[in-house]
């Protein structure tokens, strides 16, 4: 248990399976996530199959396993000796996006890194290969964080891999990843981060903007926790859904009658331009971008989802630019 040392607060935050839960409204978070928090990892594949049959398709249990199947395959499928090397969709899309973004960041600042929306954690481990400091992966999905923590603490991946319908095969394989001693995973809200200003030299936000309650607050927090001249990699497929993000907070994706005709990439670009937009993110500047990079996900043996992702590399402006020296 983490306990706030401020006597006017004394807030308590549990650490479960190695994952600290540090959110503003702990009562609401726990009540909404009690099933994944209390879920067991010691059940046999047969027992899990029976439970899945009882709950049926489109149940909370079915959705829970589907998300784990899709994201864990993409993050760690390359380490699974049972996976085909010539499948219709190969794992590694998220890691490829991260690598693409890192190539656009020249002269990276030294210091800690944060992986916002780390899911099951592979991108955090990949950051550890290039960052000589601490890496914190954060997400609000506790089931995914538990898989990330299992890789961190036990060096193994265990997850339900969907074959068809509600048929899932239990997959388990080793995952000894370089630099894991520098990584940790926390349950946090990326729109309200529990970190001091200018805590990180590098940040990644891969396909998170369209999955949070307030994309704008997410970007503001990213800028707040970055150090001066710190870099960030942002990507988004702009797959807006009111179940994740209220339509009022979407960055584009609605009202083709607007000047941008609803284009999300134009809206995000204008926020980072530091110009006349009333909500411009003045602390961040756009370094480079790619408009259509592939992000391919596996749903089951015969179903796949292909996105074209907008990827941006940004940097935090220095609050006090260096003075010019007269020659």
**CATH placement of domain 15-24+92-154+178-316:** 3.40.50.150
Residue extents of the structural domains in the chain: 15-24+92-154+178-316
Q: Cα separation of 29 and 142, whole Å?
A: 10
What is the DSSP secondary-structure string of 84-122? -TT-SS-S-HHHHHHHHHHHT--SPPSS-EEEET-TTSH
Can you give the pLDDT at residue 215? 96
Residue ranges for the chain with pLDDT beneath 70:
274-276, 320-327
Phi first, then psi: what are they for 94, rounded to 5°? -65, -40
For β-strands 113-116 and 200-206, DSSP reports them as parallel
Contacts of 268 (CB under 8 A, 6+ apart): 209, 234, 236, 251, 252, 310, 312
* Residues sharing a CB contact under 8 Å with residue 68, sequence separation 6 or more, in sequence order: 120, 143, 144, 147, 159, 160
Q: Check: pTM over 0.95? Answer yes or no.
A: no
CA pair distance 197, 250, nearest whole angstrom: 26
Confidence at residue 320, expressed as pLDDT on a 0 to 100 scale: 58
Distance between CA 102 and CA 93 in Å, rounded?
Answer: 14
Tally the residues of the chain.
327
Q: Dig out the tokens for 164 from the structure.
A: 């068809």
Q: What is the reported pLDDT for 2?
A: 95
pLDDT in tens, 50-61: 999 999 999 999
pLDDT for 327: 40
pLDDT of residue 80: 97
Q: How far apart are CA 21 and CA 134, in angstroms?
A: 18
- Whether 209 and 234 have beta carbons less than 8 Å apart is answered as yes
Q: What is the pLDDT of residue 261?
A: 81
Q: How many CB atoms lie within 10 A of CB 240?
A: 21
- Identify the pLDDT of residue 276: 67
Return the pLDDT at 108: 81
Q: Is residue 178 helix, strand or coil?
A: coil
pLDDT digits (tens, 9 = 90+) for 276-285: 677 888 899 9
How many angstroms separate the most distant Cα atoms in the chain? 79
DSSP string, 276-287: S-TT--TTEEEE
Strands 12-13 and 226-236: unpaired
Spatial contact of 310 and 291, defined as CB atoms under 8 Å apart:
yes
């Amino acid at each position: 248990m983490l306990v706030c040392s401020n006597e006017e607060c004394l807030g308590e935050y549990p650490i479960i399976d190695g994952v600290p839960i540090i959110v503003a409204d702990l009562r609401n978070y726990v009540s909404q996530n009690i099933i994944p928090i209390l879920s067991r990892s010691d059940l046999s594949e047969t027992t899990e199959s029976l439970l899945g049959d009882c709950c049926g398709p489109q149940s909370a249990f079915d959705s829970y396993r589907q998300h784990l199947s899709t994201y864990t395959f993409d993050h760690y499928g390359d380490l699974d000796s049972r996976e085909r090397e010539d499948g219709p969709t190969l794992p590694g899309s998220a890691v490829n996006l991260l690598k693409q973004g890192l190539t656009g960041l020249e002269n990276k600042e030294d210091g800690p890194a944060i992986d916002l929306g780390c899911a099951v954690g592979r991108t955090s481990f990949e950051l550890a290969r290039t960052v000589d400091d601490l890496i914190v992966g954060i997400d609000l999905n506790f089931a995914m964080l538990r898989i990330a923590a299992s890789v961190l603490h036990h060096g193994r991946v265990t997850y339900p891999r969907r074959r068809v319908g509600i048929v899932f095969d239990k997959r388990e394989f080793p995952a000894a990843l370089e630099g894991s001693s520098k990584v940790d995973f926390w349950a946090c809200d990326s729109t309200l981060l529990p970190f001091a200003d200018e805590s990180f030299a590098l940040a990644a936000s891969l396909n998170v903007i369209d999955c949070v309650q307030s994309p704008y607050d997410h970007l503001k927090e990213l800028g707040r926790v970055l150090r001066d001249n710190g870099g960030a990699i942002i990507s988004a497929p702009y797959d807006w859904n009111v179940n994740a993000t209220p339509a009022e907070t979407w960055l584009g994706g609605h009202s083709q009658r607007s000047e941008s005709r609803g284009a999300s990439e134009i809206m995000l670009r204008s926020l980072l331009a530091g110009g006349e937009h009333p909500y411009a993110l003045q602390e961040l500047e756009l370094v480079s971008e790619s408009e259509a990079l592939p992000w391919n996900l596996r749903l089951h043996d015969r179903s796949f989802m292909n996105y074209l992702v907008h990827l941006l590399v940004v940097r935090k402006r220095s609050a006090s630019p260096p003075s010019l020296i007269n020659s």
